[in-house]
Amino acid sequence: MPIEKYDGSSDPEEHLNVFLTQATLSTQDDSTLCRIFPTSLKGRALGWFTRLPSSSIDSFNELSSQFTLQFATSKPYRTTSLALAGVRQEKKESLRTFMDRFNKWWR
């Protein structure tokens, strides 16, 4: 079953997990995983991969680390309860406006 190709706009760790779940059904060989990984990429992510310097990756673990580092900002931000505790109503801000802003943070 083919996996959805990663374009660099979502959680890179989730993509790696899905990729490994599928790929390790066939192989656990490190070099093979490195060779088939780019088939799970498209767009910006594939562009990043093709620009990696030749022989710069020694293992799938290293490739995974470089990949997650490169696309870390694409990972969805999870609002913590501590962050929500810091949301304050502004002076002259109506309660309705404040609640709308608070609810946007919560989602």
pLDDT at 100: 84
pLDDT at 1: 66
Angle at 30 between CA 29 and CA 34, to 5 degrees: 120
pTM: 0.69
How buried is 42 (Cβ within 10 angstroms: 0-12 exposed, 13-18 middle, 19+ buried)?
middle
pLDDT at 89: 82
Query: What are the average pLDDT values for consecutive 10-residue runs of the chain, which has 107 residues?
Result: 88 94 93 96 96 93 94 72 74 86 71
Tokens matching residue 63: 């490739």
pLDDT at 107: 61
pLDDT at 106: 65
